[in-house]
Amino acid sequence: MDRRAALAATAVVACVAAVLAVVHHRAAAAEVPRAAGPVYEGIAPRDEAWIRAAVAEARPEAAQLIDDVDGTVTFRAVYEPSAPWAGLTTSVSPHRYTVTLNLSYLNGSRGPTIRDDVVLHELGHVIDFEVVPRDLSDRLAAQVPVTGTCFTAVTGDCASPRERFADTFAKWALRGAVSVAGAGYSIPMPASLEDWGAPLSALAVQLEASSAAS
């Protein structure tokens, strides 16, 4: 696995460890700030531009799910070449998350090839925690194929259910236009991303209807 892909994988592993270290708060859709948009804290305009561009690549159903949680997200950027991660999501309070992006990797020579994957993977975690019922999240994670191989203790078949969901969410959101490794976890794609994501599409429709009625 490419070194930068491995670093991206470690990144999101660290992300889940951080999130699971705090109390897991799952909000009803109506409780999530809607249409507020994310906060960009200390991020240069050029970096904000590619973050926005990554989000804009998401299919409409994924975009609806993102729209329902992006008001809970603050994007930050750091430059830490020695850190073993490219993206990190942490829960900072109930229904508030920080997505930290490591520009030493994402603005590097290979960065543009993994930016969309990493940004949408991290947002996939927020969607998982905020709007996807746990039983659905677990079921979707279980539907991701296995290969019989753990490339490391946290990749391949050894990736956690939360990573299996977030990584496959990013692939589904991008209509499969990513490498099989996704954000670096070496998790294979389902045979049909459309079938895998159908429950998420239905959830997006429900959230859109709820938003229109409120």
Residue 164 has pLDDT above 80, yes or no: yes
This prediction's pTM: 0.82
Tens digits of per-residue pLDDT, 136-162?
A: 999 999 999 998 888 888 888 898 999
More confident residue, 29 or 127: 127
- The confidence score (pLDDT) of residue 68 equals 93
Q: Are 90 and 15 in contact (CB under 8 A)?
A: yes
Q: Are 136 and 199 in contact (CB under 8 A)?
A: yes
Distance between CA atoms of residues 8 and 119, nearest Å: 11
Distance between CA atoms of residues 187 and 100, nearest Å: 22
Helices then strands, counting H and E runs in the chain, come out as 8, 4
Mean pLDDT to the nearest integer, 50-75: 96
Q: What 3-state class would DSSP assign to 13?
A: helix
Residue 3 has pLDDT above 60, yes or no: no
Q: Which pLDDT band, with edges at 50, 70 and 90, does 49 fall under?
A: very high
- The confidence score (pLDDT) of residue 147 equals 87
